[in-house]
Each structure stands twice: as structure tokens, then as C-alpha cells.
Amino acid sequence: MEETITNNALLKGGEFVIKESKAQDVFIPEEFNEEQLMVKQMAKDFVDAEVKAHIHKLEKQEDNIAATMLEKAGELGLLASHMPEKYDGTAMDTNTNTVICEELGKALSFSVTFAAHTGIGMLPILYFGTEEQKQKYLPALSTGKLKACYCLTEPSSGSDALSAKTKAVLNDAGTHYILNGQKMWISNSGFADIFIVFAKIDGDKFTGFIIERDTEGMTLGAEEDKMGIKGSSTRQVFFENAPVPIENVLGTIGKGHHIAFNVLNVGRFKLGALSLGGCKDSIALAVNYASERVQFKQPIANFGAIQYKLAEQSIRAYALESTQYRVSNLLQDRINHVKSQGKGIEESKLISAEEYAIECAILKVYGSEVLDYTVDETVQIFGGLGFSEEFGAARSYRDSRINRIYEGTNEINRLLSVDMLLKRAMKGHLDIVGPAWAVQKELMAVPSSTKPEGAFGEHKFVLQNLKKVLLIVAGGAVKKQMDGKLNLKEEQEILMNIADILIDIFTLESVLLRVEKRKGMGKDCTVQQHILNVHLHDAADRINKNATDALISFAEGDELRMMLMGVKRYTKHTPCNVKESRRVIARKLVEENEYCF
Ligand SMILES: Cc1cc2nc3c(=O)[nH]c(=O)nc-3n(C[C@H](O)[C@H](O)[C@H](O)COP(=O)(O)OP(=O)(O)OC[C@H]3O[C@@H](n4cnc5c(N)ncnc54)[C@H](O)[C@@H]3O)c2cc1C
């Protein structure tokens, strides 16, 4: 399949903070080609016929139905679209894979089964396996004949994954590692054939292993009784003197963290796409009900309070969608770029995911929170029926909640995004110091404003200014740290503020570039411009609050006053009638009866 190539291959991860992107650099869903639309339809048909039609069986995990669904998805090629052809994959480009993930995000709790198998389950072998391991496992994983799971978490090590206690010791014959320990919360473990397990060799060398299901000494706990995603198998996995052949060591001994964390980068990206699919389904449910439910002699969709919710669900989903496909294409461009320098496809994919680890963390946090907001408001729109198990709203509400917890909790991902940004700046990979100084100087000078020209000049001007706010806060905090007056590691509240500013800037820029590109394609942008205006209005206000909260906690006196003045100046924007904009968005949604932007 043809790969999408644009000219932003050299935009570095995190660089959006200091560098302006152009509309032509981003990929937007309006650009799906015929093949992508065909794959999208095929994935949708699969979800409707093979998953949604069997929801009651799935929720009860009857007859191991999730495993059967995986096999059916495998027959259609949905498990192997990211696999090279030599491992029976179809090697589709990243954007097509994102489309598939988005559609599978509508597959209720099966979406977790799908993600665990195709992401954290299969990718460790693809990225870190030996050629023999790849040949042995990947073709059968691609078709769904074999099913995979990923075992990192333990009862005493979740976010602090590297403190795992599971231990591996080489036997006297030197043929097997003997594993002892316990893993917890393992998705797909009830039916998986292949277990990617992390254990410490001799208690200190954190290492990955490929373990087959019938391994002696490996047993499973009972299915967890969970709040949601009830159709997804989740169990504990126990190892009691379980022998694992030495040829099943995955990657380099002592470098298991490299596997665990790199695979999670991809998992976080996928979680954004899955959340997007979930949002769109939830919005369709909400708008359909709002149009049909009559109270006070009219559909509840006529009420401003309900229109606010419908519009807000759509605005956030649009921001997620714009950001998701932007990152998808950044990944593809980077893969092409790295490949052109002579690296193999697996390594190119790995390097690219690592490059955009900040963006992947943002997508994970934003996607899971937009989905949570959306399903919550859908329950509210359904009123009492939202609380009934008879309708989908309650189930989606329960299912959504896990997304903020796994693949690294949202707190951990927020911390990571800022930590990675600052580390890249310290190492000189990103020149944040220069622009931060420039903003300091600008703050002391007489304000002058030359707005970019063109249809979106005003929006671009505000965006540029919002980036300056980030530089004031992050730059100020780092300077305090260098002066020995602040230990940022101990000031997580400030890091959370910075992470939220990062999220707002990146999603806002993605929406802006999408609408601009869409307009350039000659498409009607009336409603999209309302979405952009409301998102900008709210993002600027949130950034103002986050920046103010952060600055007050580490600066004082004249310095604080000057920085706060900067925040005020740089978050200024022309007021827009957000009430009217939301009404326009909601009206369009009601007209189309589904997410349609
Ligand atoms: C349904 C389900 C499926 C799962 N599937 C898998 C799977 O397939 N494979 C797998 O390996 N794992 C899986 N997990 C485990 C999941 O990844 C962990 O639950 C998650 O990483 C959090 O770890 P924890 O539960 O131990 O929480 P903890 O790490 O104990 O965190 C508790 C709270 O403290 C916060 N916290 C922790 N450390 C910090 C810190 N340094 N700073 C600030 N706040 C902090 C967290 O954000 C969280 O709010 C699954 C979990 C669930 C519930």
C-alpha cells in the first residue's frame, strides 16, 4: 500500500512547543484515500456483525468468544495490518492502521482484547525478537491462530514497573531460566498462547521473556470481577519454578525496560485512536436519543443545556481526531525518513515511536479524558435510562474508565510528557532555552503585535502567544531549579500544570491546522470554524489558569508580577460568542444524527 509522505519528516518530537507547523504538513481525515475508506468500512462491518451483534455473550465471556472474535479479525487481516509481509502481515501505512484502530475502538470491550493482542502483545516480538522468534510466532499471531498478552504489572509494582519482583535464574544445565513470581491485571491472559513476561534475572537484570501457555509451573488466577470491560479477560499469572528455554529470552538481558517502555509508546498512541472511535459511537448514541426523547412537548435536543453537552462532546472529539491523525502522519513521515537512512522497518518504527513519545503520551491522556467526558455526558443526556443496563450508555461509561489507568496512568503520562520535554531541552535536542530567553526579553519591551496574515492570522497569533506562556512557565521553573531554589521532582502540581498547557497547545494547533487545510481544500468550514473558536477560547482560559497556578507556586514579588503580566498579555484573545457557536455545532450534529465533522 502506498505510504503517505508529507514534508514534516524533520519535525522533532516535542518541537511543536517552539516550532510552527504549516497546514500542508498535517494529515487530516478529509484526505483518506479510497483504500483507507475501504479498510475503514471493512473494520466497521466486522465490529457490527462480529462484535456488537454478540455483546451479551461477550460481556459474559461465554465460550471464550473474545478469542473467536480475534480469530475472525485475523481472517480479515485486521490483526496484521501493521506487520511486515514476511510475517504474513499486510504492511499498511500508519494512517491506515490508525483508521483500523479507530474503528476497533467502537468494539466495546473487545477493543481491549484487540489492542492487547496487536499492540503490547505482538510488538515486543516484532521490535525486539530474534529472526527465529519472529518466524516462529509472528505469522500465527498475525492470523489470530496464536493470541498474545503482556505481563508487566505485579501486585506491588504498577506505575513503578521496574520494581518488579518476579525473578529468573539460569538452571545448572544452562538451558532454561527458572521463573518465580506473580503478575497481575493481565489482559487476554485467560486464552492467550503467548505471554510476554518481564522478570529480573538473578533479581536485578530486568529482562523480557516469551513464554508459551503450556509451560510447566505457570498458572492463572480467576477472572477479575471488574467495573467495566467485562468482555475482556483479565487474570493474574503465577510462576512457580516455571522453566523457560534460554532461546526465549526477548531482546538483551538487563534491557527489558527498553522493550516495556517503547512498546507502551505505541500502546498510548493506539489508545488515543481507540478512544476516538469510542467517542464517536457515544456521540451518535447521545444525539440520537436527544432527538427522540420528548419532554415539555419538545425533543430534549432543543434545550440549550443539552445542546451544550452535544457540542462539547463533538468539539473535544474533533480536537482528538485532528491531533490523532496529525501524530499518525508524523510517525509515518519519521518512519520513511529513518528508513531512507538505511534502517529496517522494525527499527524505523521503534525509533519513530520513541521520537514522538511526548505526543503519544498526550494522546493517551487527552483521548482517555475526552472519552470519559463524552460517555459521562451521554449518560446524563439519557437521564434515568442512562443508569439502566438495558442501554449502551451505562456500559460505555463503565468501560471508558480503565483508559485513564492502564498504559501508564494519566498522572504518570502527564509527568512523563513534561519530563521528556525538559530532558530533551537539557540535552540540547530541543532549543527551548533560546526561545524562552526571547520571551523574557519581549516581556520587558514595549508590546508590539504583528499578526500573521491570512484567514487564520488571528488564531495563529493567539497560538504563538500561548506557546510563549508555556515558555514563561517551563522556562521560569527550570531556571529556579538551576538556581537551586526549586526541586521540580517534588513539585508535581507544577508539572501537571505544564502538562495541561502542553496538551492544550498541541490539540489547539492540530485543530487550527486541520481547519486551515480543510478550507484550502475548498470544503465548507462553517461549523469547523465554530469548533476552532470555542476550543481556542477555552484552551486560552485553561492555559491562563494553569500558568497562573504554577507561577504563583514558585515565583514571588516583581518577578511574579512580571510573569503574570505576560500570562495576561499572551492569553488575550478576541471574545467569541461561545453559546452561539455551540448551538451551531449542536444543530449540525442533530441534523446528521451522528458525529459528522
Ligand atoms: C483492566 C486492567 C487491565 C490491565 N491490563 C494490563 C496488561 O495487560 N498488562 C500489564 O502489565 N498491566 C495491565 N494492567 C495494569 C495497569 O497497567 C496498572 O494498573 C497501572 O499501570 C497502574 O498501576 P497500579 O494499579 O499498581 O496503580 P499504582 O501505581 O499503585 O497507582 C495508584 C495511583 O497513584 C498514582 N501514582 C503512582 N505513582 C505515582 C507517582 N510517581 N507520581 C504521582 N502519582 C503516582 C497513580 O497515577 C494512581 O493514581 C491492567 C490494569 C487493569 C485494571
For ligand 1, atom 43, the nearest C-alpha belongs to 411
- Mean of all residue pLDDT scores within the chain: 95
What is the mean pLDDT of the segment spanning 531-552? 98
Owner of C-alpha cell 508459551: 212
Q: What is the CA radius of gyration of the chain?
A: 24
Owner of C-alpha cell 508529507: 6
* Distance separating alpha carbons of residues 552 and 563, to the nearest angstrom: 10
pLDDT for residue 449 is more than 90 = no
Q: Is 117 left (phi over 0), alpha (psi -120 to 50) or beta?
A: alpha
Q: Does residue 187 lie in a domain region?
A: no
Distance 138 CA to ligand 1 centre (A): 28
For ligand 1, atom 2, the nearest C-alpha belongs to 185
- Which of 407, 453, 490, 594 is an active site residue? 407
Q: Does residue 313 lie in a domain region?
A: no
What is the mean pLDDT of the segment spanning 548-564? 96
pLDDT for residue 450 is more than 80 = no
CATH number of the domain at 500, please.
Answer: 1.20.140.10
pLDDT for residue 313 is more than 60 = yes
Q: Does residue 181 lie in a domain region?
A: no
For ligand 1, atom 48, the nearest C-alpha belongs to 409
Distance 155 CA to ligand 1 centre (A): 10
Pocket test for ligand 1, best of 211, 406, 492 (most atoms within 8 A of CB): 406
The phi and psi torsions of 242 (rounded to 5 degrees) equal -85, 120
Q: Does residue 544 lie in a domain region?
A: yes
Give the confidence band of 453 by pLDDT, cuts at 50, 70, 90: confident
pLDDT for residue 395 is more than 80 = yes
pLDDT for residue 489 is more than 80 = yes
For ligand 1, atom 25, the nearest C-alpha belongs to 158
Q: Does residue 55 lie in a domain region?
A: no
Give the confidence band of 8 by pLDDT, cuts at 50, 70, 90: low
pLDDT for residue 162 is more than 60 = yes
For ligand 1, atom 32, the nearest C-alpha belongs to 159
Has this prediction a pTM greater than 0.85? yes
Q: Does residue 569 lie in a domain region?
A: yes
Distance 79 CA to ligand 1 centre (A): 26
Give the confidence band of 1 by pLDDT, cuts at 50, 70, 90: very low
Strand, helix or coil for residue 245: strand
How many domains are there within the chain? 1
Pocket test for ligand 1, best of 159, 187, 411 (most atoms within 8 A of CB): 159
For ligand 1, atom 7, the nearest C-alpha belongs to 186
Give the confidence band of 378 by pLDDT, cuts at 50, 70, 90: very high
pLDDT for residue 147 is more than 50 = yes
Query: Of the ranges 8-22, 176-190, 264-278, 542-556, which one carries the lowest mean pLDDT score?
Result: 8-22
Tell me if residue 407 is catalytic: yes
Structure confidence by residue, pLDDT tens digits, 234-251: 999 999 999 999 999 999
CB 272 within 8 A of CB 367: yes
What do you get for the CA distance between the two ends of the chain, in Å? 27
Distance 200 CA to ligand 1 centre (A): 20
Counting from 1 in the atom list of ligand 1, the atom nearest the Cα of 157 is 26
Kindly report the three-state secondary structure assignment for every residue of 67-127: HHHHHHHHHCCCCCCCCCHHHCCCCCCHHHHHHHHHHHCCCCCHHHHHHHHHHHHCHHHHH
pLDDT for residue 5 is more than 70 = no
Distance 406 CA to ligand 1 centre (A): 6
For ligand 1, atom 12, the nearest C-alpha belongs to 153
Distance 408 CA to ligand 1 centre (A): 6
What is the mean pLDDT of the segment spanning 360-370? 98
Q: Does residue 526 lie in a domain region?
A: yes
Q: What is the pLDDT of residue 317?
A: 98
Kindly state the cell numbers that stand for 243.
522453566
Distance 158 CA to ligand 1 centre (A): 5
Give the confidence band of 451 by pLDDT, cuts at 50, 70, 90: confident
Structure confidence by residue, pLDDT tens digits, 26-48: 999 999 999 999 999 999 999 99
Name all residues whose Cβ lies below 6 A of ligand 1. Answer: 116, 149-153, 158-159, 185-187, 226, 229, 234, 402, 405-406, 409, 411-412, 492
pLDDT for residue 415 is more than 70 = yes
Structure confidence by residue, pLDDT tens digits, 88-98: 999 999 999 99
Counting from 1 in the atom list of ligand 1, the atom nearest the Cα of 226 is 1
Q: Does residue 535 lie in a domain region?
A: yes
Counting from 1 in the atom list of ligand 1, the atom nearest the Cα of 412 is 47
Q: Which domain holds residue 577?
A: 428-592
CB 274 within 8 A of CB 109: no
pLDDT for residue 470 is more than 70 = yes
